[in-house]
Amino acid sequence: MKAGIGSIKNIIAIASGKGGVGKSTVAVNLAFALKSKGFIVGLMDADIYGPSQPGLLGKREQPKGFEGAIVPLEIDGLKFISMGNMNQTGKANIMRSPMILKALSQFIMGVRWGDLDYLLVDLPPGTGDVQLTLSQQAKLSGAIIVTTPQRVALEISYKGLNMFQVLNVPILGIIENMSGFSCKHCGKTTDIFKIGGGKTLASSSDVPFLGSIPLDPEVMVAGDEGRNLIESNPNANSSRMFMKIAEKVIEVQNKISAEIFEPMHVQIDCGKLKIVWKEDSTVIYDTFKLRLNCPCADCVDENTGKRRITEKQIPLDISATRFNLVGRYGVSVHFSDGHNTGIYTLKLLMEMPNDIGKTSFSV
């Protein structure tokens, strides 16, 4: 078994715009719900500063290594990894961003995940380095946005949703957490933090609404005890809701997988970038013009949008030497003049044949 994510069928980011919306609780219960349906599931706790999965899963021991890679911990058949298990001191993870990203890269490429149907990635709140690095280093199958019904949470959740849209990551849907209080005695639900905001956000953003999770004491107790709620109390109202959401996730994921837009093939051919977009459409990009239209901050002023690089600064015989696919949203090209910081989005590359005179032809 090799380390890395190469044998994982679906990688799904569980994200939120702000903290305190119960994203990690949703992630762990959704993982168990998917597992209960017969799938092989993993859970990556990418919240390096505030890892909560060891407590929610009731497993705090340090993972072992094997042949230079980390062997993920396992509970009830669910594989998981968390910085909370790596740091056994219990003290704060005081780390600058480069160290955080190094840890995330190790979780992505240095863990023996094996063959998984789903890997859920519990992200930190916000739209920062971790979210961007994950989107660049992993081909995300989709993202799920967790929110609570309040207006302030919805407004910030939209920003997280928008970030994934910009990165060409499909939005599988929105989950509204803490959607009313569910009384285990009478079975009635009381709307404490309002209700329906998640559905409204989904509708206005034209993305699926996956469902609502009420405030349920059973969820809190299971989390505190590190217990699998889906297995230990399958008849709890929240357990049933997580199972319904898992069914919806599977349905939406299968539909989106058939619609995901990305190149069929990318290569460097005689110093030029060649992309097969679909069976009857191939584009060979003029390297000089491709370099001239580099979108990076060195070539374009971020504040004014004015292009800094001129034609005179580019060698006439410039060639493309290699490329890297960046997640699902772009291609990074290395040029013979040493420049390699530009990420050309798929949208930009699709528009380039018409915008700057590339040659497009059918094969």
Per-residue pLDDT tens digits of the chain, which is 363 residues long: 778 999 999 999 999 988 889 999 999 999 999 999 999 999 999 999 889 999 999 999 999 999 989 999 999 999 999 999 988 787 888 888 889 999 999 999 999 999 999 999 999 998 889 999 999 889 899 999 999 988 888 888 889 999 998 888 999 999 999 887 766 677 666 777 667 788 889 999 999 999 999 888 889 899 999 999 999 999 988 999 999 999 999 999 998 877 777 788 999 999 999 999 887 789 999 999 999 999 999 999 988 989 999 999 999 999 999 999 998 889 999 999 999 999 998 888 988 865 444 444 333
* CA Rg value for the chain: 22
Share of the chain residues as helix, strand and coil, in percent rounded to the nearest 5? 35, 25, 40
The pLDDT value recorded for residue 174 is 96
* CB contact at 8 A, 195 and 178: no
The confidence score (pLDDT) of residue 363 equals 30
Residue 269 has what pLDDT? 93
Domain boundaries, the chain: 8-257, 265-361
The pLDDT of residue 151:
80
- What region does 92 belong to: left with phi over 0, alpha with psi -120 to 50, or beta? beta
pLDDT at 356: 46
CATH of domain 8-257: 3.40.50.300
CA distance 50 to 124: 8
Q: What is the CATH number of domain 265-361?
A: 3.30.2020.30
**Does the global pTM surpass 0.85?**
no
User: Which pair of tokens denotes residue 97?
Assistant: 């961003």
